[in-house]
Amino acid sequence: MTVYKRMMYILLAAALTAVLLIGCGKKKKASEDDLVGDEEVSDVIATLDGYDNSEGKEDGDENVPVIAAEEIKDPYLEAVDRAAAKGLPAPPDIDVTSWEYILASADHPLPDGYAPPDISHVGSREIPCDSRIADALYSFAVDCQEAGNEVYLSSAYRSYSEQKSLFDAKVEDYGYEEAARIVLPPGTSEHQTGLCCDITDIYRSPKTPSVLEQTETFQWLNAHCEQYGFILRYPEDKQEITDIIYEPWHFRYVGKEAAKYIKDNNLCLEEFLALYGVE
């Protein structure tokens, strides 16, 4: 082979390599673009739907996450959209199925036999509550007291059977309908979650909203509750949604993040959870 011919072969080989490299580069770019355009993604899905795995090819594997991302909508982004539709800022990025957000009401009765996983006793009266809120409840009450207020923790956790006895006693005195207005039927009271607490200045029976809301204890609790992760669960202006009378003594733990958002935006728990699709 002459030197000239050898040179020609080397040049030809170099040119072929260059063409192949450019070709590959283009292919790579095109497949990246495929992941962006919706049409292209559905083509990928269509191809994979018809993909026959029996040949043992593994080429399709890298595309599997694309399908997953396409099919599963991010629930948090949906919550952001729902909030925006109501003119609200982005809500906290929370797992709405976590224990802090358990809803107990006539429309959302607790599962049969529900009880907190662990019970702690708080304050000098050692009232029982869900252990997970014990520290927060204790700080909330003690700080209120240290601010110069009287504090009486009257009731936090009530078991299904305690709620049933309370309810049955009222039914005997007043009949079912009237009783249901005063005490919630068993399984529908938030007290069965152990995540709330009735807090007043002194022992009060009956609890009268117009009297309680005037107390300095309530004023302090209402002004600071979100700092401890609590909300006023049954506000006066949300009675049509909660279906519970105004209770300026019933505070519910939801965690600091949710409590702040709920308070800042004047929501009740039902409205807050609806942002995450809980209806």
State yes or no: residue 252 binds Zn ion (CB under 5 A): no
Which is nearer to Zn ion, 79 or 183 (by Cβ)? 183
Whether the Cβ atoms of residue 197 and residue 137 lie closer than 8 Å to each other: yes
H or E, element range at 58: none
- C-beta nearest to Zn ion: residue: 250
Which is nearer to Zn ion, 79 or 104 (by Cβ)? 104
State yes or no: residue 201 binds Zn ion (CB under 5 A): no
Whether the Cβ atoms of residue 151 and residue 127 lie closer than 8 Å to each other: no
Count the residues in the chain: 279
H or E, element range at 98: none
State yes or no: residue 100 binds Zn ion (CB under 5 A): no
Q: How far apart are CA 118 and CA 207, in angstroms?
A: 29
Which is nearer to Zn ion, 91 or 200 (by Cβ)? 200
Rounded least distance, CB 226 to Zn ion, Å = 18
Which is nearer to Zn ion, 79 or 199 (by Cβ)? 199
H or E, element range at 135: helix 134-146
Rounded least distance, CB 151 to Zn ion, Å = 15
Stretch that binds Zn ion, among 123-131, 171-179, 198-206, 222-230 (CB under 5 A): 198-206
Rounded least distance, CB 198 to Zn ion, Å = 4
Q: Exposed e or buried b for every residue in 79-105, given b needs 16+ CB within 10 A?
A: bbeebeeeebeebbebebeeebbbebb
Stretch that binds Zn ion, among 123-131, 176-184, 193-201, 238-246 (CB under 5 A): 193-201
State yes or no: residue 250 binds Zn ion (CB under 5 A): yes
Among 100, 198, 201, 226, contact with Zn ion (rule: CB under 5 A): 198
Which is nearer to Zn ion, 75 or 109 (by Cβ)? 109
**Residues with catalytic function:** 247
Distances (CA, A) of 103 to 100, 143, 167, 235: 9, 27, 20, 16
Distances (CA, A) of 245 to 66, 202, 218, 228, 269: 49, 21, 16, 24, 15
Rounded least distance, CB 209 to Zn ion, Å = 12
State yes or no: residue 158 binds Zn ion (CB under 5 A): no
- Paired with 120 in beta bridges are 129
The closest of 199, 193, 244 to 224, measured between CA atoms, is 199
Rounded least distance, CB 99 to Zn ion, Å = 18
Stretch that binds Zn ion, among 38-46, 53-61, 234-242, 248-256 (CB under 5 A): 248-256
Count of residues binding Zn ion (CB under 5 A)? 2
DSSP-assigned letter for residue 184: P
Which is nearer to Zn ion, 94 or 244 (by Cβ)? 244
Rounded least distance, CB 248 to Zn ion, Å = 11
Residues that bind Zn ion (CB under 5 A): 198, 250
